[in-house]
Structure formats: C-alpha cells, structure tokens
Amino acid sequence: MATGDEHARLWTAAGSSQVELLAARFQRFAFDRHSHEQLSVGVIEQGAEGLHMAGGQVVIPAGQLVIINPGQVHTGFAADGSGWRYRMFYFDADLVDELAREQLGAGGVWFPETAVRDAALFARLRRVHEAQERAADPLTAESLLLEGLGAVLGRHARTGPRQAADAAHGARRGAGLARQVLHDRWTEPVTVAELSAAAGMPRASLIAAFRKAYGLPPHAYLLRLRANRARRLLLAGQRPAEVAAATGFADQAHLTRVFKRYFGVTPGALRA
C-alpha cells in the first residue's frame, strides 16, 4: 500500500510461517483500537509513534523499541509532525512460548514496558528485518529470526504473574465464557442475549465485564478476531472476496475498510 508519502508492506517471513513482518511509514494515518494475537515487536526508525493503551498514552521516539503483548488493545498514530517510519515483527504466541520454555524455563511470558530503550537490540532487530527484505535463504532467515526473538526474551521478558496494573486484563469467569463463544462461533452471527446466557450474566453487566477484561466490547472483539483470521488467509494467498465470505464480513468492501483501519494496508495490497 502506498499513498503519497505513506506506504506499508505486510508479509510472511521467509523460512517461518509463524512470523509476520510490516515495514511502513505513516504521517496522517491512525490505527483504530485493535490488538494482535501475536507478540508485536518493532523498531521506530524515524519520527515518533503514539499509542493509546490501558493506563494512558505512550510515545515511542526514533531509536527505541515498541513491544506490545498479545491481546493488548491499542491504537497507533503519529506523535511527531513528520509522522513515523517503523518495522514490526509479529511473533506467533506458540513460537514465543516454545522459545521461552527453552530459554527461560517457563512459558506465559509478558513484557512490562511498551517503549524500550535498548540500542544494541534495536540495531540487531533492524538488521534482521532488513535481511528479510533481501530474500535470504530460508535456513539463514529463520535462524536470524529465532536468534532475534531469543534476544528480546532474554533481555526484556518477565515470567510469573503480571503486575497488579495488568490485572484488569484478566477475564472474569463470565466474560471468559462469552469470549469462548466468540472464538467458537467467530464466523457466525452472535447476539448479546446468547453471550449473556452463556456467561450467566445480565447483558449490561456482561458488556462492562467483557470490556474490562479484554479492552473491547464483544462486538468490537469479534470484529478484531475476524480481521486477524482474515489476515492469515490473505497472507496464505487467498483472494479478498473469498476471505471476506469465509470470515464473516458482509462483503469485500467491508473487509477492506476494517483491514485498512486495523493494519494500515488493504487486502488487495497485501496479496500483491
């Protein structure tokens, strides 16, 4: 996707289907509230990116890393008049858990800081990302990715229970039951009444509890879930019209609008 002085490219990493990459520059574009199922790690190359997250606004200037935990709801916008240019890695949660168990002896890791100062790691990840654009052989490409993720885990990951400030992201039982319904029936129409019945909670209470647990109300969470599934299918080479039908969107135009707001690229540009 390229529009004037803005551009974005999203692709699957060479040698590893468990890693996606984004290289982009935005000036006026702003992401809607969304989250990723993967661990998101990036380097801000120019300008500054701003994020609205639970707990307030975070600004990441050029030269710093941005690390966003899976499921952490956030926006994204230019915090500098010139916009921001950055490179992102999206590491599959299973891959992160596998490496964390090997390296740290425990899975379920999390990252306490969103804006991270680490010049050595910044330079290393930038080189790894740039290497992916040069179509290195699969063995080399995957090795560099795994070493880079290992460095992120070793230098900045935490194990054990999250801090008290992160407790709001833990689901109450009712909200968790409603969430499971959305994951089980993500391609189907679902009503608040059905979620309420599954959770054993009044509708208004469920919506409030769900938002507290997951950062979004149920309808927005389901839309995000469908968009993340659509992203995987598009990266696998399926056509936008087929993906829209397979993931519960009204039509291709609806998928395109949502996809651009969440990921900064259109489905057609992603396939190209």
Coil, strand or helix at 86: strand
Beta strand 2-3 pairing with 31-34: unpaired
* Domain with 151 in it: 2-156
Q: Which amino acid belongs to residue 261?
A: R
Chain position carrying tokens 């469908």: 226
Q: Which amino acid belongs to residue 138?
A: P
Distance of CA 11 to the CA centre of its chain: 14
Beta strand 65-68 pairing with 115-116: antiparallel
The pLDDT assigned to 265 comes to: 87
Domain assignment present for 250: yes
The pLDDT assigned to 101 comes to: 93
Q: Are residues 26 and 85 in the same domain?
A: yes
Paired strand residues for 61: 48
The pLDDT assigned to 171 comes to: 42
Q: Are residues 59 and 121 in the same domain?
A: yes
Mean pLDDT in each 10-residue stretch from start to end of the chain (272 residues)?
74 88 94 91 97 91 96 92 96 94 89 96 96 78 91 93 46 82 92 90 86 88 92 91 92 92 86 56
The pLDDT assigned to 169 comes to: 40
Coil, strand or helix at 129: helix
156, 178, 196: which is the final residue of a domain? 156
Q: How many domains does the chain have?
A: 2
Taking the C-alpha atoms of residue 125 and residue 147, their distance in angstroms, rounded to an integer, is: 10
The pLDDT assigned to 201 comes to: 84
